[in-house]
Each structure stands twice: as C-alpha cells, then as structure tokens.
Amino acid sequence: MEWKEVFTVDKPVLAMLHLMGSTHADVLERAKKETDLLFEAGVDAVIVEDYFGDVEDVEAVLQWLQKVALLKKGYSIRNVAKLTGKAVSTIQQVKKDFISS
C-alpha cells in the first residue's frame, strides 16, 4: 500500500493515543474523548499504545476507530455494521457520538 493511498496530504500529522483508565470502559471512553480532541486539532491518524492498558483495551479502541474511519469515508451505517460485525444500532451510536459532533 502506498503512502498516498492512506493519507490525502503530503505530510500527515500523527499523534500517540496513550490508553489510561481504571476500567476497560473507562479506558475506551477516555480514548474516544482524546481522539475527538486530536482530530479536531487536525491530526490525520493516531497510534494506539498500551503502556497503561492491555490487549483488550487496544483491541476495543482499534475496533472503535475502524468504525469511525469507515463512517468518515462515507460508508453507510448498514455497510459499516456488516463489515465490522456489529449491530446497526451500535454503528448509529458511533456516528451520533463522533461523526455528527
């Protein structure tokens, strides 16, 4: 895969997302909020690290980011649900919480 296939800019801005929280749910909610701030600030992509989390936390965040990325690319809610194996209502919530804000 070529660099230009992934990014639409010559010099993309990458940011590190440090996972932190007291529970798995807390880690995911914090990651969602921090990701939102990073993208609002113009970041093109995030790197997820697990220094304060574990494999489950990383997987949950990456799965959530995959849904967001597909929605941002213009995939329909139904197609994102099919591609990710999640319920349509779950994808609708992701879109409401992140894409529409």
Q: Kindly state the tokens that stand for 7.
A: 């990014």
H/E stretch holding 85 reads none
Q: Summarize pLDDT for 19-45 with one digit per residue, the tens.
A: 999 999 999 999 999 998 998 899 988
**pLDDT for position 26:** 95
Cα 54 from Cα 19, distance rounded (Å): 9
What angle in degrees, to the nearest 10, is found between the helix axes of 55-72 and 24-40? 40
End-to-end CA distance of the chain: 31
The reported pLDDT for the residue numbered 1 is 66
Chain position carrying tokens 């574990």? 54
Angle of helix 77-84 relative to helix 55-72, nearest 10 degrees, comes to 150
Cα 11 from Cα 15, distance rounded (Å)? 13
pLDDT tens sequence for the chain (101 residues): 677 777 788 898 999 999 999 999 999 999 999 998 998 899 988 999 988 879 999 999 999 999 988 888 888 999 989 988 889 998 898 888 877 65
Question: Looking at residue 62, what is its pLDDT?
Answer: 93
